[in-house]
Chain A
Amino acid sequence: MELVKCIGGLLSGASIGSVLLVYLLLHPEKIEIWSSLLWRLLSSLGSVFKFAHKKYVKYDIQGRVNRFAKELSKNAPYLAEERVRVEWVRSNISRESFLQDGRVILRLRRDDPDDMNFAHGAYLFVSTSLLFELKRYISQSQRQAIDLYVTTKLIEQEKPSVVGHFLDQYLHPELYDTESKTARYFDTYARIDDGGLFYPVFLQELDFLGDKVFGERRDDEIIREVNWLIDFLKQIATRTIGEEGNLDFKQEYCSFAVVIVGKPAKLTPSGDVYVDYIKKHLVPSGFETIYVLSLWENRGVIDSICEALIDSYEKCRTLKQKAVLRYGDQAVDRQQFLAVLRRKGIEIFRPSD
Chain B
Amino acid sequence: MAKLALRAVHDDDLGDLLENLGLRSKCIHGKLKCAFCKDIITYDNLHSLFPDSGDIKLVCSKPECVNRLLLRLETKRR
A81 (CB) vs chain B CBs: closest residue? B2
Query: A313: CB under 8 A from chain B?
Result: no
Question: A107 and B46: CB pair below 8 A?
Answer: yes
Tell me the count of chain A residues lying within 8 A, CB to CB, of chain B: 54
| A86/B74 in contact, CB under 8 A | no
Q: Is the interface of B mostly helix, strand, loop or mixed?
A: mixed
Q: A85 within 8 Å of B by Cβ? A: yes
Query: Which residues of chain B come closer than 8 Å to A54, judged between CB atoms?
Result: 10, 12
Contact with A along B7-29 (1 / 0, CB 8 A): 11111111011001110000000
CB pair B5–A85 under 8 Å, yes or no, is yes
Q: Is the CB of B3 within 8 A of A95?
A: no
Distance in angstroms from A161 CB to nearest chain B CB is 19
In the complex, which residues of chain B have a beta carbon less than 8 angstroms from the beta carbon of A123?
66, 70
Per a CB cutoff under 8 Å, which of A110, A125, A128 touches B11?
A: A110
**B5 to nearest A CB, angstroms?**
5
Q: How far is the CA of A47 from the CA of B42 in the complex (A)?
A: 25
- With a cutoff of 8 Å between Cβ atoms, the chain B residues found around residue A81 in the complex are 1-2
Bound complex: CA A121 to CA B70 (Å): 12
Q: Which residues of B contact A144 (CB under 8 A)?
A: 67, 71
Do B22 and A95 touch (CB < 8 A)? yes
Q: Is the CB of B13 within 8 A of A128?
A: no
Q: Which of A89, A125, A140, A173 contacts B63, CB < 8 Å?
A: A173
Q: For the complex, is B56 an interface residue (Cβ under 8 Å from A)?
A: yes
Interface pair A87/B56, CB less than 8 Å apart: no
Q: Which residues of B contact A95 (CB under 8 A)?
A: 20-22, 56
Q: Which residues of B contact A (CB under 8 A)?
A: 1-14, 16-17, 20-22, 46-51, 54-56, 63-64, 66-67, 69-71, 73-75, 77-78
Q: A81-B2, A88-B8 are in contact. List 16 more A-B contacts (CB 8 A).
A: A82-B1, A89-B17, A93-B21, A95-B56, A99-B56, A100-B51, A101-B51, A103-B5, A105-B8, A107-B11, A108-B11, A124-B73, A125-B6, A128-B73, A143-B74, A170-B67
